Chain A
Amino acid sequence: MQTLPIVTSRLVGSLVNLNHPGRYVHWGFIQLSVANLIVIGAMVVVFAAAILIPFRRHGGSDR
């Protein structure tokens, strides 16, 4: 029953190769990993989407 996890891990591994040291960006004294930068970028995108995308309301005019 170990086949499924192995297949899954290889599928994911073929999409994103993580078998290397982490990459970092340097900006003056600021050092940030690319992984963290991607997460921060995703948070900004989701924050903007949460404000811009209309919220679907249920029926009823008072809500």
Chain B
Amino acid sequence: MSIDTRTPVESPDEDAADRPEDAAQWSARLRHSAVDALPPERLMPDRQPSYVASWIYVFGVLTLSALVVVIVTGIALSVMGPQWWHVSTTGLFVNSLHLWSVEVFFFTMIIHLWGKFFMAAWRGKRRATWITGVVSFVVSVGAAFTGYLSQQNFDAQWISTQAKDGINSTGAGAIFNVTNFGQMLMWHIVLLPLVVVALVGLHVLLVRLRGVVPPFAPPGQTGVDVVRESAAPESAPPTVTNGERP
């Protein structure tokens, strides 16, 4: 007598979820809608529309890169602790990397914001992309602010005592006490990074979903196809002329 110890799978194809009787399940519906909206070739395309060949389009990804450095150095600081970042040479270096990557993050994000503002990047059903970008910027300001409050130096004390009157004048001081170091540190390393990363992730997914906003058509050519499209027809957004998607 032999015992079949293999996993009881009928066949690899049948194991995949796509059985007709499963179609009504929420997990199947969610998966189908996600794959329909963002197929892999659109989620990570090989090519971009020709109008993206400009330095002004680089600043979004520069901002993302700076955010990655912020998060990685922040994790290192969290793991090693205050003695490390205040005393050791390596800790001071990583602490400085954390600060300067934040400076780069805001520097490039502001230029990204200016570029998208003058492109009117909310055109063509891209309102949600614009709004998530704006909200990410505002939340990032809060994340940076609580970071400056968490420095454990005279600068942090000065900023907190200057800020408390402003915060209290809004009525938020009852639940957001800028002189409470523990609370500010938790906001800085837990709550606000989660919100920033979630918003930025949503922002990037929306960019992939709606495509990069095209430039305005030259005067007198509204409605004429002035944009050469990507070489990846299935993943590319539909041809756009005046910024509106069909």
Residues of A near any B CB (own CB < 8 A): 1, 5, 39, 42-43, 46-47, 49-51, 53, 55, 57, 60, 62-63
Given the known inter-chain contacts A5-B89, A62-B231, A63-B50, please indicate yes or no for A51 contacting B55, CB distance below 8 A.
yes
Give the residues in chain A near B50, CB-CB below 8 Å. 62-63
B53 near A43 (CB under 8 angstroms)?
Answer: no
A18: shortest Cβ distance to chain B, in Å? 14
**Interface secondary structure of B, over-half rule:** helix
B47 near A51 (CB under 8 angstroms)?
Answer: no
Give the residues in chain A near B58, CB-CB below 8 Å. 50
Give the residues in chain B near A39, CB-CB below 8 Å. 107
Give the total number of A-B pairs whose CB atoms are below 8 A apart.
39
Which B residues from 70 to 115 make CB contacts under 8 A with A?
Answer: 89, 107, 110-111, 114-115
B55 near A53 (CB under 8 angstroms)?
Answer: yes
Given the known inter-chain contacts A62-B231, A63-B50, please indicate yes or no for A50 contacting B110, CB distance below 8 A.
no
Closest to A49 in B: B55
**Interface secondary structure of A, over-half rule:** helix
The answer to whether B56 has its CB under 8 Å from any CB of chain A is yes
A37: shortest Cβ distance to chain B, in Å? 14
Given the known inter-chain contacts A5-B89, A62-B231, A63-B231, please indicate yes or no for A46 contacting B53, CB distance below 8 A.
no
9 of the cross-chain contacts (CB-CB < 8 Å) are A1-B89, A46-B111, A50-B55, A51-B55, A57-B53, A60-B231, A62-B231, A63-B53, A63-B231
